[in-house]
Amino acid sequence: MLNAQIINFNDADEIGEMHASNASDTPMHERAFELEDDEKIARISEHFSSIMDLLGLDLRDDSLRGTPKRVAKMYVQEIFRGLNPENKPSVTTFENKYNYRRLVIERNIPLQSTCEHHFQPIFGVAHVAYIPNGRVIGLSKLNRIVDFFARRPQVQERLTVQVVEELKRLLHTEDVAVYIDARHMCVQARGVEHHGASTITAEYSGKFLNETTRQEFLMAISTALPQ
């Protein structure tokens, strides 16, 4: 039996619908890394079998028999792999020998995450910018950083802040901006079922708090934004 914190689920529903978080760190308990991935997959598979059984599904059917393990592997190895710090991308920065001092922008970074309130998918794009200080970063690493923090149960606000904080740490600069535009299946596939809705979050720090620099960034990504 899993050790679990006792939660008043009426309170949990209310907190979840507020769509807010008190910290930029993903909430994780102290036992998060006690089990190896294989053990996590085995236990999740067992519990997901129970969920399917409670829903009335016949796990003896050929189509359903392997579903619990498939879901468990997907959770641990794919869509929630960003929970494991061992999967954090190895990032090397380089000396800014060419003394480039203007914006570096990576637009249209594909983003796939999971809403932590309903475990429904989130799909969208991220636009990331920074102004080099003494170091620069390989462009593909910006994509990998976004993907790492996205691959966990998330709220979009926290994801935006996490990417900004990680880039500030790696580049030793405050001059970072992140803009995310994403569609949430918890809005489109349940509840109000509004298929055209998307959510925009943005975080600016350092020189991006200056109106001129921020507008330069927003103008640069404007052709990538849906009209």
Catalytic residues: 115-118, 156, 184, 186
**d(C-alpha 17, C-alpha 154), whole Å:** 13
Neighbours of 57 (CB within 10 A): 14
**d(C-alpha 203, C-alpha 27), whole Å:** 20
Distance of CA 119 to the CA centre of its chain: 12
Contacts of 122 (CB under 8 A, 6+ apart): 111, 112, 113, 114, 115, 150, 154, 156, 182, 183, 184, 185
Neighbours of 213 (CB within 10 A): 19
